[in-house]
Structure 1
Amino acid sequence: MSNDPPLPKAFRRVWAAASVSSFGDGVYLTALPLLAASLTRDPLLLSVISAAALLPWLLFGLVGGALVDRWDRRDTMWLTDAARALLLLAAVAGAAAGLLSVPLLIALAFVLGIGQILFDTASTAYLPELLDRDPAKLKPANARLRGSVDVLDGFVGPPSGSLLFTLGRTVPLLVDAVSFLFSSLVIRTLPATAPRPRPARRPLLKEAADGGRYLLGNPLLLGLSLRPALGNFAFSAGTSVFVLFAQEKLHLGAAGYGLLLSCEAVGGFLGSMLSARISDRLGTGGALILTAVLLTVAQTSIGLTSSAVLAGIALALRAAALSGTIVLSGAVRQTIVPDELMGRVAAAGRLLGLGAAPLGALLGGWLATVGGLRAPYLAGAVFLAASTLISLTMTSNRKVEAALAAAERARAESAGRAGDEEVTVAAEAGNREVRGGD
């Protein structure tokens, strides 16, 4: 039986909304390239459509985090999903009117990417509010959310998107719109969070920079963010040529390639579900060291094997370690970052991680050209080995436990000050009544 503490009913609604939205994302992300390819065969235009979804993070990621810290996070989530649903419905209507085009898809991917910044950052900041920043609750909660993403976005959504596309080019967009609408309506029913103190407003860009400065100034948070940065760099190097690798080195056809990708979804789900138990046994820092080692071993194995079966096992192991890293890192971050900075620090970490991906893809393409299709995976393994050193030195059990203890003391001191202020206010009110009675 699980020893995890019970999660509030409100979390079930968050989980349901995230699960349905993840399915819609899997459908959309699979159908978008198919829809684009039906409009153009130009590789450059196709790559621009794919890049348009990522570009908002590079341009507005930090600003989005600052806005989330200014706004009510629950309202930000449900309004953003409602807007994304309306945007997709407008795209479907435009397609029905014969207005579907490559520029429209580029604009759609870009604006939806902006919505993703606001929703993802707000949800990352809202969860610790909902769960009282309790690490014992945050780990299983993050594990369930991550498991839903792995299964529905990575396993169920893609084949569903392909099937829906055969029914009509814009049917997947309509399904994704419905998923956003469902998510919006469910999140709207969540409890409102307590009003946060509102310090004097400063220029938005200066507030946005606070998140980056806080992250860079905290060695533990920096280590937790460097892990995904190195991971995305290494993974993107291989992903950029994975189709060719599967065909030429593993001798797989289209069906085998799809089955190989499903191994990642299965591994990711298992990793997210087991992460809390492994953390309980090894400590969060120890579990992060283990995932770093497993990522390095898995990436090396992919680069060396010619067996599709062994490659599938290595992909599943890599995905399991990656999901475990995301769950555990997220729980630590949500526990130790001050509430008023949560959105900005989350955005800064996401920017650092995502910014490395296109660089890794460029390196992977170049390495495959000059060194063969195995070179990107073996080079990526070197960067993942470096992430093991980061875990050993920056995110060890001692560092994690010290940070959690410091965050707990800070919350206790803050609660004590708030209690003293309430006593003072009550005393002053009593004094005024006494003076009034005299």
Structure 2
Amino acid sequence: MPAGFGRLWTAQTISSLGDGVTHAALPLLALTLTRDPMALAVVAAAGTLPWLLFGVLGGALVDCWDRRRTMWVTDTARAVLLAIPVGAVVLDVLSIPLLAGVAFLLGLGGLFFDTAATAYLPDLLRRDPALLERANSRLRGAQTAMSGFAGPPAGSALLALGRAFPLLADAVSFLLSALLVRTLPAVPRPVPEVRDSLLRQAQAGASYVFRNQLLLGLALRPAVGNIAFLAVEAVLALFAHDHLGIDTYGFGLLLTAEATGGLLGAGIASFLGRRLGTGTALTCTAAVEGLAILGLASAPDPYAAGLALAVCGAGMGATMVLAPSLRQAIVPSHLMGRVASTSRMLAMCAAPVGAVLGGALATAYDIRTPIYAAGFLLLTMTAVTASMTSNRKVDAALRAAQADSQAGPDHQASEDRVHESAPGPS
């Protein structure tokens, strides 16, 4: 691994810890101000809105900017932003609108940072598929450990010391991340396409995804997966309480089982990719997720439910290493930001659909129905996308990307413009 990757991994690990702290602290801070469920929901939803409103445009901007500079400037801005609610706490003027605004701007910063980091990594690792899988495995594992295990309890503990402490901790994490990113090696800026408006550049990035069957398959899986997983999440607490007899503490352990599986899946993703081929491995992990959710729906006790969630988490963890690594290996540098943000936006837009679907099915039938429906939906999605992400298509895309890389950036940009303007799927 290049030396610069260690600094990038450290920066994202520190930032993930801060994210986990804030993820736990923001709703608890809101709870100290109001008991209105709608107000609490607004704070929770505000952080996701930037992806829904500006996802593709944000990717187009990242493709126009220096990726390393985008990352450290964004993290510096987020650290400064957190000074506002800290000041509001000190002056005792903290409010729900202020928390929602901060959550929205933090989410906007996350859009730019995550997209820039996704686009920067393949240039740092020279688009080597094996290195990308190893790198994403380490990044995903650290993110799960910090934001899923260490961050939330740390956020709750810091909040017990005072309302400003978790916000200060997150600000420090952003500053440390910015300093580390600032020292990363520079990579060549992507070759620009023909000068065009930002909107047309964004449309070109989205079109590149929808015209490419492999990239479309990679984008559909998290989008459909989010519908299924949010349908489960919408009723999971009630299902655990009413059907499994799990109390609040036990519910936290149930979620920890899923995160533990996620760590395992991220760790074995590269092995699965080598053993089965990336395309087959992605199909198998998607099938595992669907079968595990069906196992959760039929679980007779908390132990079976925890095992099912751990298996599902392992499938998700492996998928979230293999799919981004493949995308980073085959997408041209000058389109990477837009392709990544388009895929992420599709997944984010699908999430509310899943939550509404889960609530509606539980209301119309019973609490297990949305979980069964989610499992069948995941298996159907697996069957539909299996041919789109087959080993044959993956190998062909990797060969084409390698040929484009050897031909030089000018040839690659020219070929991509031809594909973007050609009718029909590529």
Which of 69, 72, 78 aligns to 1:84? It is 78
2:135: which partner in 1? 141
Which residue identity does 2:329 align to in structure 1? T
Matched, 1:121 2:111: no
Matched, 1:202 2:166: no
- Map 1:318-333 onto structure 2 (within 5 A): 318-333=312-327
Q: Which stretches of structure 1, 4 residues or more, deviate above 6 A after TM superposition?
A: 415-418
Deviation at 1:197, TM superposition (A): 2.6
Matched, 1:340 2:334: yes
1:364: which partner in 2? 358
Which of 274, 289, 296 aligns to 2:290? It is 296
Deviation at 1:417, TM superposition (A): 6.5
2:36: which partner in 1? 42
- Per the normalisation by structure 2, the TM-score is 0.95
Deviation at 1:416, TM superposition (A): 9.6
Separation (CA, whole Å) in 2 of partners of 1:315 and 1:169? 33
Matched, 1:181 2:175: yes
Separation (CA, whole Å) in 1 of partners of 2:89 and 2:347? 35
Matched, 1:316 2:310: yes
- Helix, strand or coil at the partner of 1:241: helix
Matched, 1:30 2:24: yes
Matched, 1:109 2:103: yes
- Helix, strand or coil at the partner of 2:76: helix
Contact residue 10 and residue 191 of structure 1 kept, 8 A: yes
Matched, 1:384 2:378: yes
| 299-308 vs 59-68, which moves further | 299-308
Matched, 1:257 2:274: no
Matched, 1:64 2:68: no
Contact residue 285 and residue 391 of structure 1 kept, 8 A: no
> What is the aligned residue count?
412
* Percent identity over paired residues: 51
Deviation at 1:200, TM superposition (A): 4.1
RMSD: 1.3
Separation (CA, whole Å) in 1 of partners of 2:366 and 2:172? 44
Separation (CA, whole Å) in 2 of partners of 1:62 and 1:291? 28
Separation (CA, whole Å) in 1 of partners of 2:370 and 2:201? 38
Deviations 1:150-185 (A, max 9, x none): 111111111111111111122111111111111000
| 361-370 vs 193-202, which moves further | 193-202
1:284: which partner in 2? 278
Which residue identity does 1:265 align to in structure 2? A
1:10: which partner in 2? 4
Deviations 1:296-326 (A, max 9, x none): 1111011111311111111111111011111
1:211: which partner in 2? 205
Separation (CA, whole Å) in 1 of partners of 2:103 and 2:10? 24
Which of 212, 232, 235 aligns to 1:238? It is 232
Separation (CA, whole Å) in 1 of partners of 2:190 and 2:300? 56
Contact residue 50 and residue 104 of structure 2 kept, 8 A: yes
Separation (CA, whole Å) in 2 of partners of 1:318 and 1:368? 21
Which of 85, 90, 100 aligns to 1:96? It is 90
Deviations 1:170-225 (A, max 9, x none): 21111111111110000000011123333443111111111110000000000000
Separation (CA, whole Å) in 2 of partners of 1:372 and 1:71? 50
Contact residue 191 and residue 409 of structure 2 kept, 8 A: no
Matched, 1:412 2:409: no
Matched, 1:164 2:162: no
Contact residue 54 and residue 113 of structure 1 kept, 8 A: yes
Deviation at 1:293, TM superposition (A): 1.2
Separation (CA, whole Å) in 2 of partners of 1:173 and 1:292? 37
Contact residue 122 and residue 343 of structure 1 kept, 8 A: yes
Separation (CA, whole Å) in 2 of partners of 1:265 and 1:167? 27
| 204-213 vs 407-416, which moves further | 407-416
- Per the normalisation by structure 1, the TM-score is 0.92
Separation (CA, whole Å) in 2 of partners of 1:166 and 1:149? 24
Separation (CA, whole Å) in 2 of partners of 1:349 and 1:415? 24
- Unmatched tracts of structure 2, length 5 or more: 413-426
Contact residue 191 and residue 410 of structure 2 kept, 8 A: no
Separation (CA, whole Å) in 2 of partners of 1:83 and 1:416? 34
Which residue identity does 1:316 align to in structure 2? A
Deviations 1:268-297 (A, max 9, x none): 111001000111110101111110110011
Separation (CA, whole Å) in 2 of partners of 1:29 and 1:138? 28
Separation (CA, whole Å) in 1 of partners of 2:380 and 2:173? 39
Task: State which structure, 1 or 2, has the greater radius of gyration over its C-alpha atoms.
Answer: 1
1:432: which partner in 2? none
2:416: which partner in 1? none
Separation (CA, whole Å) in 2 of partners of 1:206 and 1:34? 41
Deviation at 1:109, TM superposition (A): 0.7
Matched, 1:52 2:46: yes
Contact residue 292 and residue 391 of structure 1 kept, 8 A: no
1:426: which partner in 2? none
- Helix, strand or coil at the partner of 1:240: helix
Separation (CA, whole Å) in 1 of partners of 2:90 and 2:411? 60
Contact residue 295 and residue 308 of structure 2 kept, 8 A: yes
